[in-house]
Chain A
């Protein structure tokens, strides 16, 4: 069964550093997403991406965040200057069309120290 692949599975970074979280969505999917889950809290929407541009973003997705689809397969989330409160599990997801239900990746656990 096709999978959404995320790398790395765990990243530790120092406060103020830039991190790039990587995702390979399912190949025939058209819509891509990033969500985050702070430990013990609910899953929160960050951004959606369609047709090579952001289609929607939440209030969490401020100027320190950016997304990119640099080639036909990868989908990245960059956090420019990490803060302690960015520590969370970050999930990438994709879907062939918007009402189908997403396939999530296994997540990247980001720890900012």
Chain B
């Protein structure tokens, strides 16, 4: 079984600044994957970044990067140079080999970027 916890229901940041969203997870899997999804007001789910647990190197996608701490089971998302379009709900999610391919989501963090 997998659980994903996001302890920050809401966060805000000024445009152009950096913000970090927290996520912790628990899993019994040896091989698993971690994701951050963005859900803007349109409510579409958009994949932001993906991390393979067996890779030590933190994933990056342009302004988005993760800090993956495997021993601590932590997977935080850093957004650099925040833009107004980054305003959205952000969900952390995990999937594992023996749990099939189902995604387990956290509760979400509502991020607001202020001008």
Contacts and interface: CB of A to CB of B under 8 A. Distances in A.
Chains A and B bind each other: yes
Dominant SS at the A interface?
strand
A68 interface: no
Q: On chain A, which size bracket covers the interface?
A: 20 to 34
B84 interface: no
Interface in A97-113: 98-107, 109
A31 interface: yes
Contact of A95 (B46, B101, B104, B108): B101
Contacts of A45: 102-104
B16 interface: no
Given A42-B108, A43-B91, A98-B95, A106 B43 contact: yes
B102 A56 contact: yes
Interface residues of B, number: 24
A95 B102 CA distance: 11
Contact of A48 (B42, B52, B102, B105): B102
B85 interface: no
Given A42-B91, A42-B105, A48-B102, A99 B43 contact: no
B64 interface: no
B45 A43 contact: yes
Contacts of A103: 47
Interface of B: 33, 35, 37, 42-47, 50, 52, 91, 93, 95, 97, 100-108
